């Protein structure tokens, strides 16, 4: 399986993401700098966490308009499995690939700890190796993870199974405790928690591993 990790100025989870992908898929991902206009064909694209452009203007806003994103948008819309974690999630919403927006946490505090998530939909390319309703522990580390969508979109996301992960308690003000959502087609996932940080028991657990195994299984 060929993967690409997109690197923006201020990304800081790009290497963790690369290690997680390599551990699970057995092959090193391409690291693609944001100024590239294009990159070789891959089976999986990951947008890592971090504080790209220092969160200037809005989190992910500037990165979402960088050169490489034209290629990412084109491929994601063509169906390539695309994962955005934390800042990567913010970039996906700012690029218009996912609905909604990520706002300042309701309690105005940076949240950095392990949280319990429920797998709401185990029938996606990102979650097929989890069980439905499985509870997993994944760390979060963000200041702007408060997921907002309007009522109508929220109802559609819920009705169509696009809410993939839900926090077991509301840690940041997100509507309906949403921690991760997909697009309608299901090939683009954005989530605030960091699965790439828990793929090896040496790091305290491996609940994040199944996400990468799911992608691998869905690509075959």
Partner 1 sequence: MKARIHVTLKNGVLDPQGKAIEHSLANLGFMGVEAARQGKYIELDLAHSNRDTAMADVEAMCKKLIANTVIENYTIELE
Q: Which amino acids are annotated catalytic?
A: 86, 194, 196
Residue with smaller CB distance to partner 1, 180 or 195: 180
Contact call for residue 48 and partner 1 (CB under 8 A): no
Which segment (20-28, 44-52, 54-62, 191-199) binds partner 1 by CB under 8 A?
Answer: 54-62
Out of 27, 35, 56, 57, name the contact with partner 1 by CB under 8 A. 57
> Which runs of consecutive H residues, i.e. helices, occur in the chain?
14-25, 67-78, 87-94, 151-159, 209-219
Residue with smaller CB distance to partner 1, 161 or 173: 173
C-alpha–C-alpha distance, residues 88 and 192, integer Å: 8
C-alpha–C-alpha distance, residues 50 and 11, integer Å: 4
The number of residues making up the chain comes to 220
- Count CA within 13 A, CB hemisphere, residue 104: 5
Residues in 123-182 at the binding interface with partner 1, rule: CB under 8 A: 146, 148-150, 173
Out of 94, 120, 196, 207, name the contact with partner 1 by CB under 8 A. 94
Out of 26, 40, 108, 201, name the contact with partner 1 by CB under 8 A. 108
Contact call for residue 35 and partner 1 (CB under 8 A): no
Out of 88, 100, 186, 193, name the contact with partner 1 by CB under 8 A. 100
Which candidate, 32, 31, 29, 33, places its Cα nearest to that of 43? 29
Q: Using the 8-state DSSP alphabet, how is residue 116 labeled? A: E
C-alpha–C-alpha distance, residues 133 and 140, integer Å: 20
Residues of this chain that interact with partner 1 (CB under 8 A) are 57-58, 61, 65, 93-94, 99-101, 103-108, 146, 148-150, 173
């Amino acid at each position: 399986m060929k993967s690409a990790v997109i690197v923006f100025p201020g990304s800081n989870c790009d290497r963790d993401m690369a290690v997680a992908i390599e551990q699970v898929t057995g092959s090193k991902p391409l690291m693609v700098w944001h100024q590239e206009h294009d990159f070789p064909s891959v089976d999986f694209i990951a947008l890592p966490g971090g504080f790209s452009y220092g969160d200037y203007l809005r989190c992910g806003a500037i990165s979402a308009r960088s050169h490489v994103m034209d290629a990412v948008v084109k491929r994601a819309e063509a169906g390539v499995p695309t994962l955005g974690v934390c800042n990567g999630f913010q970039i996906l919403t700012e690029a218009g690939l996912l609905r909604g927006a990520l706002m300042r946490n309701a309690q105005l505090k940076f949240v950095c700890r392990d949280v319990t998530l429920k797998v709401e939909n185990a029938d996606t390319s990102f979650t097929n190796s989890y069980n439905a309703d499985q509870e997993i522990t994944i760390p979060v580390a963000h200041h702007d993870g408060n997921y907002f969508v309007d009522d109508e979109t929220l109802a559609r996301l819920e009705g169509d199974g696009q809410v993939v992960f839900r926090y077991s308690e509301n840690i940041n003000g997100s509507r309906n405790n949403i921690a991760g959502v997909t697009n309608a087609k299901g090939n683009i996932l954005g989530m605030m928690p960091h699965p790439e940080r828990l793929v090896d028991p040496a790091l305290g657990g491996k609940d994040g591993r199944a996400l990468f195994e799911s992608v691998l299984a869905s690509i075959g």
